[in-house]
Amino acid sequence: MDEKEVERLIAAWQLIGWPREVPQRPDPAMIEKVAETLQSIFQELRNLEPLVEETVSPFHETPTPTGGEQSADAWTGRGEHIAVGRAAFGRESLNGSLRKAALPSGRQKSYLKTTLSALAEALHVGELSSTAIVDAFEARYHQVEEKVHAFTYVPSNLRATAQKIEQQMQMEGHRPLAALPIAVKELFAVTDWPLEAGSAAWRGRRAQRTAAAVRRLEEAGMLLVGQTASHEFAFGVTTDTPYHGPVHNPCDLTRSAGGSSGGSAAAVAAGMVPAALGTDTGGSVRIPAALCGVVGFKPTVGQIPVDGVVPLSYTQDHVGFLTRSVTDAALLYEVLTSVPAPAQDGRTLRGDDAAQLLSECCLLVPQGWLEEGVDPGILRAFTALLNRFGQWGISVRTIQMPCSASALALVNRVISMAEAARIHDADLRLRATQISSGVRLRLEVGSVLPAPFYLRALQLRKAVRQAQVEALRQARPPAGHAFFCLPTTPIYAPVLGQTKWVWPSSGAREPVADLLVRFTAPFSLTGLPALSLPFPLDASRRSAQPLEDSDPIVPTLPWGAQLVGLPGDDRTLLRLGHVLMQREGQVLP
């Protein structure tokens, strides 16, 4: 893009720039940043053109799901059916895990430093009441929230709500998740709760209805304990915005919790709640899960309704969740998804069943992606993990992907910027100066992004999705399954306010935001289901300032291993994650 083209774009932008708050038009520095960003995007998209020309048909093709798979292009048609019942591992296995799960002994504050499964069993056998759960939440909240800043709103009527749920349980009988506490990211509408989306531009807004996913939680009897902090409009990966300040990582309070669902991850990691809803458009569930040391799950796009969730990207937004175990992720998946469980999911995963599943799985490691740069400590830990997987009977292979992870992250970003600019058009016209500079820049770029850029990115997404699906289909054993496997993020949690990551071997510097989305955005782009599992780094990466010196959440900084499956293969992905965590013996305190 030459200087004349840049000048033409700027002139067009100014021409169509509706009256805004003072200053009426973007200042010169903002214009220059937009132009530089457009130039970079243009060059990167040109580099990816051969992929489009080779694989994309010029005609629209309606995807036809086959077998157990669901098309990742099925952006609409999300139903309202509530599938409460068997977990992804089968009811028999779930009941067994509930009875074996033990609540922490001792102090009341420890009640919530456990899993949904353990709390459910304690409620079922009468060891715990719904009001005791409220007391435990409030005690833990007052103890650690001032250090973590995970929540933006907690309702004042929690005890009354808990009592109402308990009465319903007495009348209607036991429900698996009834009275269990859960938090929701501040992008989810809940009637009469604030709906500010982490932005001063939305200060004072309140929701007039409840998001479909939240309704499913309420209908399952779950107790909504509050809203968790999001990066402004979910358009960032640090959850550090001027409106409510940074969310601190409970594993090390000097470090970022990640984002944009950083508040949800921090609340779970700090033991304030056992589970929380988040959203994922470029990695916003999996990134904070990896940095905070919890489980993060993004289902296949469209399997959980996004109705009533503040959008960022119409075609890439996912509802996901953060938990303390894969079993809990499976419990939430059954409540939130509209996809019925197949009959064969009734089998358990004990003994020979687990060994058989492992022998039926092939893990594909995108070798070229790892060469783009991974922290040496994470790379060592990931390599050791793959060796253990091989010892357990899993086939592990490397694969060369058609283009780099960074390029796919750019395609994800182009689509997000264009669609977010349309969504926040009124905010740019009327409240631009109330939006933080980083988020505003992305929205401004999206507002002047040429249509061919956006359309080319959509074509690239289709081509990439086809390539990802085909690679998994070709690699899976007969009657088996294949998954991509790679670190969730190539770096561990950055220090709060850190914008550049320095690679120790070369001294090269890269933007932290680009690194955090590098391995997650490619699968938000294509809508494949993705699961982040938590693991600790070696002792050289000890936490500088853990939340509790006497009882650290994780003694060393955590990292995440990401598994990605075929569209619609969510339950198998969860079953595999469950078995791997059992074999690894990795359990959160």
Give the separation between CA 382 and CA 332, rounded to whole angstroms: 28
Give the separation between CA 496 and CA 404, rounded to whole angstroms: 28
Give the three-state DSSP class for 201.
helix
Cα separation values, 365 from 83, 368, 375, 383, 393, Å: 33, 9, 16, 10, 16
Q: What is the DSSP string of 330-342?
A: HHHHHHH--SPPP
| Residue 185 annotated to the active site | yes
Task: Please state, as a whole number, how many other Cβ atoms lie within 10 Å of the Cβ of residue 492.
Answer: 23
Distance in angstroms between the alpha carbons of the first and the last residue of the chain:
54
Lookup result for tokens 């594993």:
251
> Taking CA 533 as the corner, what is the angle to CA 529 and CA 534, rounded to the nearest 5 degrees?
155
Give the separation between CA 149 and CA 142, rounded to whole angstroms: 11
Does residue 214 contact residue 277 with C-beta atoms inside 8 Å? yes
Q: Which of 93, 199, 260, 406 is catalytic?
A: 260
Q: Which of 117, 284, 395, 447 is catalytic?
A: 284
Residue 347 region by backbone torsions, left for phi larger than 0, else alpha for psi between -120 and 50, else beta: beta
Does residue 128 contact residue 98 with C-beta atoms inside 8 Å? no
| Residue 4 annotated to the active site | no
Helix and strand numbers (H, E) in the chain are 21, 17
- In the 8-state DSSP scheme, what is residue 437? H
The secondary element (H helix, E strand) that includes residue 62 is none
| Residue 260 annotated to the active site | yes
Give the separation between CA 573 and CA 562, rounded to whole angstroms: 11
Q: Which of 93, 113, 117, 185 is catalytic?
A: 185
Does residue 578 contact residue 349 with C-beta atoms inside 8 Å? yes
* Best CA proximity match to 511, nearest among 499, 522, 502: 499
Give the separation between CA 564 and CA 298, rounded to whole angstroms: 9
Give the separation between CA 489 and CA 512, rounded to whole angstroms: 11
For 241, list phi and psi in degrees, rounded to 5.
Answer: -125, 155
Which residues are catalytically annotated?
185, 260, 284
